[in-house]
């Protein structure tokens, strides 16, 4: 007892107690402090995947398989990426209702938060194209004329010159692009839904995709709606040529017949 109290009065005792107290506080803080930002993100991500998995089992697994491996009713989803899910569900194509040549767009039945969760789950099955960010699809600094060139070379054969869409073989069709969200246009290019080819960033860099989006938005804006009257389908030389043939040439023929009829009359008299 005497020894202990002697030690307590040791000049270093106060320092030791202080150090121990500090260590204990630090340890307690580390144990109970809120998780760091990175950890919080990780937890949010795994929560999203967890929720997405639940939504998936109810709405998608019957056609795409319990682990996204695909069934006879729907293709495999391993590796299609979050962009494919955001596009398919965000445009109302998925969940599909009945088999057919092409799954049509319908009313979107999931909220954007649920779509994000579904996308997180499918992306966790295998890496694939990622949903573009706001700046990825921003029209800022995009070149509309360049976009027009790119659109005519890469897209017009199916979607028509101004993106009005058109029929393809076997009952399939390329949809009208008017009014489609820039994010979904970007995702369509990234993932190539159905019979559309995909245009990954390696072959069509971000800037070119933004140029194309700017072109689609410009030719379909209300100011661009054919100030001269009929748009003739925006087909350009083809429909305008046809118009010329029918009305122009037709008119010429009518005049020729009129002239001929009058010359004949003139000869008779
Ligand atoms: C009735 C069956 C059915 C249901 C239910 C269904 N799908 Fe699909 N899904 C299909 C078919 C069929 C295709 C192929 C579409 C096509 O070729 O037009 C497809 C295509 C997809 C694609 C595109 C794959 C690719 O290769 O780009 C994604 C992504 C997708 N589905 C996600 C989902 C999600 C998420 C759900 C649930 C919300 C869902 N699907 C529900 C049948 C279904
Ligand atoms: C070989 C024909 C073909 C080409 C080339 C093509 N597409 Fe498509 N595109 C399609 C088809 C078919 C669909 C419909 C897919 C579906 O419904 O699942 C489609 C769908 C889309 C959609 C979705 C529209 C909507 O209503 O949700 C966009 C956006 C799109 N294409 C943009 C483009 C762009 C931009 C290009 C050029 C870079 C392009 N496409 C090239 C055939 C094509």
| Residue 64 CA, ligand 1 centroid: distance in Å | 7
Q: Does residue 123 line the site of ligand 1, with CB under 6 A?
A: no
Q: In terms of residues, how long is the chain?
A: 269
If you take atom 5 of ligand 2, which residue's CA is the nearest one?
Answer: 155
Q: Does ligand 1 lie within 6 Å of residue 188's CB atom?
A: no
To the nearest 10°, report the CA torsion of 49, 52, 53, 57.
-170
Top mutation candidate among 55, 96, 105, 175 for ligand 1, by most atoms within 8 Å of CB: 96
What's the pLDDT score for residue 222? 65
Q: How far apart are CA 77 and CA 85, in angstroms?
A: 9
Take atom 19 of ligand 2 and give the residue whose Cα is closest: 174
> Are 243 and 228 spatial neighbours (Cβ–Cβ below 8 Å)?
no
Ligand 2 lined by 100 (C-beta under 6 Å): no
Q: What is the pLDDT of residue 43?
A: 87
Residue 190: CB within 6 Å of ligand 2? Answer: no
For 86, the token pair is 């955001």
User: pTM surpassing 0.85?
Assistant: no
pLDDT score recorded for residue 1: 54
Which token pair is 237?
Answer: 């030389």
Establish whether residue 213 lines the binding site of ligand 1, counting it when its CB lies within 6 angstroms of any ligand atom.
no
Q: What is the mean pLDDT of each run of 10 residues along the chain (269 residues)?
A: 61 83 79 70 88 95 94 94 96 88 92 96 94 90 93 93 83 90 96 94 94 92 59 60 83 92 74
The per-residue pLDDT for 26 is 75
pLDDT of residue 238: 64
């Amino acid at each position: 007892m005497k020894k202990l109290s002697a030690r307590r009065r040791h000049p270093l005792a106060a320092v030791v107690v202080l150090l121990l107290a500090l260590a204990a506080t630090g340890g307690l803080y580390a144990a109970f402090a809120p998780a760091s930002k990175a950890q919080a993100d990780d937890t949010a991500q795994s929560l999203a995947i967890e929720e997405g998995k639940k939504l998936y089992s109810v709405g998608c697994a019957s056609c795409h398989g319990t682990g996204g491996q695909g069934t006879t009713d729907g293709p495999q989803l391993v590796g299609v990426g979050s962009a494919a899910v955001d596009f398919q569900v965000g445009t109302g194509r998925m969940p599909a209702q009945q088999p057919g040549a092409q799954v049509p767009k319908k009313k979107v039945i999931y909220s954007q938060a649920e779509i994000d969760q579904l996308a997180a789950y499918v992306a966790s099955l295998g890496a694939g194209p990622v949903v573009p960010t706001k700046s990825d699809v921003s029209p800022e600094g995009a070149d509309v004329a360049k976009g027009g060139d790119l659109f005519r070379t890469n897209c017009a054969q199916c979607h028509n010159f101004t993106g009005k869409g058109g029929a393809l073989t076997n009952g399939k069709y390329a949809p009208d692009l008017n009014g489609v969200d820039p994010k979904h246009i970007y995702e369509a290019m990234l993932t190539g839904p159905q019979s559309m080819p995909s245009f990954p960033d390696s072959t069509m860099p971000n800037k070119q995709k933004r140029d194309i989006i700017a072109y689609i938005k410009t030719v379909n804006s209300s100011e661009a709606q054919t100030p001269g009257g009929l748009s003739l389908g925006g087909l350009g030389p083809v429909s305008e040529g046809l118009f010329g043939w029918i009305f122009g040439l037709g008119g010429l023929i009518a005049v020729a017949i009129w002239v001929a009829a009058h010359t004949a009359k003139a000869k008779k008299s």
